[in-house]
Structure formats: structure tokens, C-alpha cells
């Protein structure tokens, strides 16, 4: 995994935006995998800015979100569909029919999960997947213990995830207990991944994911198996990385070889 250490949230968002914008310039009809939550909000603001001020065209872009709460429909203000409309889709020219978020009201859910996987396949697979990381090391809603071979499925939220996500709801009791989430194997199928991690609360999960053993107990550690993942980590979240100096050195030297890659 490539690791880029940055000062703070702003720099994390700016580095991520550079990568996404470059990918879209290279492949205008790219398929993007998207996440919700605080980690990618700054990235989305920058994508909106690139669209509004630099004409970045999202018309040919297709998106697939990682997850959605079971029981929340698209009109529910705390649904991930509503989050995406509000933070990104309503402000760019992506075609609504090209944006996919799992349907938390689908029945039967298992058939919906299989159809979601199929839709990703039909779209040609995900070119670039944006990920956050949970305090417990989850990616998507793949909590510790989830099979590393999992595909899109219905997952139970861990208690710490319910606690963390309660900030978006009136209280923890309002947070749905289940979600539809792309699986770990579905995520690993993406051609490229960007993992965003900021804040001291993520330090332990980040160290375990990047430098710990590959284990289903830390779902993000599965990214160690992925051939093209970059983790963009701010100083606070990097506090427990043992090889931080190497990552900084590598990043400084990267520019010397960029034109030969
Ligand atoms: C969201 C998702 C989650 C979040 C993670 C971090 O779609 O799949 O895995 O990325 O819980 O959340 P934040 O960014 O709010 O700290």
C-alpha cells in the first residue's frame, strides 16, 4: 500500500481530489466507487469546485456507493442516498440514473445485493474506489470478522459504529442496526483504491490496517492485498505508524520518477 502522510484534513482532501480529478481527465467515463461520512466530504467539495470553476464534466461518469442503511429510503434525510445528493450529486452534472446507492428498502435484500454486484460488473467494474476507515478498522460496513471474500451483503453494524454514526441521528437508538454493503472482495475488485483517514480516533485502526497483519479482524488490512491502493493519512491519524519516516521519504522522492512511470 502506498502511504501519503499529510498535515491535516484540508491537505488530505486536496491530495485525494488531485487523484480523482486526474483519473477523470484520463478516463472521462470512469466508474467511481464512493463513500459517505466525514472523510470524503472535503474531497466532494473540491470535486464540486472543479466542476463549477474548471468545467470538470461528470456527464459520462458512473458511480456506485459502498453502502446504505437497511430500512432508510432515499428520501430519509439520514440515508446515504440523501447524503450523496446533498454533498455531491446535486451540485455536479452526473446523470441521476448513473448514480447507484444500494436500496435500503429493497425486498428481498439478498436479491438486491446480487443485483448490485451484477450492476457493477455490467458497468465494467469500479475504476477508482474512495474509502474511509472506521475506528474498528471497517471499510464499507464490513465490520471486524467479515469474510475477506465477502461480496455485497447485509451486515450488522458494530456497537462502536452505531455510536460513531449517532452524530447524524437524534441519538444512538435511531441508528439502523443493519446495512447493505459492498463486501471486502467487491472492494478489492476496484482497479484502484484511495483510503482517507483523518483524526486521532483513527490512529489505531490506521496502524493496524497498514502495518498490522492481514486479518478479517481489521477489514481495512485486506487492502494490503490490493495492487494499487493509496492511503492518505493526516498527522493525527498517522500517530501510531512505525514507518512514518519512510512514507514521508518515499513521497518526497516520488516526484523524481513520476515522468518515467
Ligand atoms: C461510509 C462507509 C464507512 C465510513 C467509515 C468512516 O460509506 O462506508 O466505512 O467510511 O465509517 O466514517 P467517517 O469518514 O465519517 O469517519
At 28, which CATH number?
3.40.50.1360
Map grid coordinates 430519509 to a residue.
Answer: 76
CB contact at 8 A, 51 and 92? yes
* Average of per-residue pLDDT across 251-256: 88
pLDDT in the model for residue 257: 83
- Looking at the chain, the whole-number percentage of residues with pLDDT higher than 70 is 100
Nearest-CA residue for atom 12 of ligand 1:
37
Map grid coordinates 480523482 to a residue.
Answer: 20
Nearest ligand 1 atom to the CA of 140 is 8
Instruction: Compute the distance from residue 161 Cα to the ligand 1 centre, in Å.
Output: 9
Note the pLDDT tens digit of each residue in 60-70.
999 999 999 99
178 φ, ψ (degrees, to nearest 5):
-130, 155
Per the structure, the count of domains in the chain is 1
pLDDT averaged over every residue in the chain: 97
**Whole-Å CA distances, 190 to 13, 62, 149, 199, 224:** 20, 14, 14, 26, 14
Domain encompassing residue 92: 2-259
Is 90 exceeded by the pLDDT of residue 52?
yes
Ligand 1: does its nearest atom lie under 6 Å from the Cβ of 134? yes
* Average of per-residue pLDDT across 195-209: 98
Report the SS3 class of residue 202: helix
Active-site annotation holds for 136: yes
pLDDT in the model for residue 70: 98
Nearest ligand 1 atom to the CA of 80 is 7
Ligand 1: does its nearest atom lie under 6 Å from the Cβ of 39? yes
Is 90 exceeded by the pLDDT of residue 255?
no
* Average of per-residue pLDDT across 221-237: 98
Provide the residue count of the chain.
261
* Average of per-residue pLDDT across 80-98: 98
- 220, 221, 227, 228 alpha-carbon torsion, rounded to 10°: 40
Amino acid at each position: 500500500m502506498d502511504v501519503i502522510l499529510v498535515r491535516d484534513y484540508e491537505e488530505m482532501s486536496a491530495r485525494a481530489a488531485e487523484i480523482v480529478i486526474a483519473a477523470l481527465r484520463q478516463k472521462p467515463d470512469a466508474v467511481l466507487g464512493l463513500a459517505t461520512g466525514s472523510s470524503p466530504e472535503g474531497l466532494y467539495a473540491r470535486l464540486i469546485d472543479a466542476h463549477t470553476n474548471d468545467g470538470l464534466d461528470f456527464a459520462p461518469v458512473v458511480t456506485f456507493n459502498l453502502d446504505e442503511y437497511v430500512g432508510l429510503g432515499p428520501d430519509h434525510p439520514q440515508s446515504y442516498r440523501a447524503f450523496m445528493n446533498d454533498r455531491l450529486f446535486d451540485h455536479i452534472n452526473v446523470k441521476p440514473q448513473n448514480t447507484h446507492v444500494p436500496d435500503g428498502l429493497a425486498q428481498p435484500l439478498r436479491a438486491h445485493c446480487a443485483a448490485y454486484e451484477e450492476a457493477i460488473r455490467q458497468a465494467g467494474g469500479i475504476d477508482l474506489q474512495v474509502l474511509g476507515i472506521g475506528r474498528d478498522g471497517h471499510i464499507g460496513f464490513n465490520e471486524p470478522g467479515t469474510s475477506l471474500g465477502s461480496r455485497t451483503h447485509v451486515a450488522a453494524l458494530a456497537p462502536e459504529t452505531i455510536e460513531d454514526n449517532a452524530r447524524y441521528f437524534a441519538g444512538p437508538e435511531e441508528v439502523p442496526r443493519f446495512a447493505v454493503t459492498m463486501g471486502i472482495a467487491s472492494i478489492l475488485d476496484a482497479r484502484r483504491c484511495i483510503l482517507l483517514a483523518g483524526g486521532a480516533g483513527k490512529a489505531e485502526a490506521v496502524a493496524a490496517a497498514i502495518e498490522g497483519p492481514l486479518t478479517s479482524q481489521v477489514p481495512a488490512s485486506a487492502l494490503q492485498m490490493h495492487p494499487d491502493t493509496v492511503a492518505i493519512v493526516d498527522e493525527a491519524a498517522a500517530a501510531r505508524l512505525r514507518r512514518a519516516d519512510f512514507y514521508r521519504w518515499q513521497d518526497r522522492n516520488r516526484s523524481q520518477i513520476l515522468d518515467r512511470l
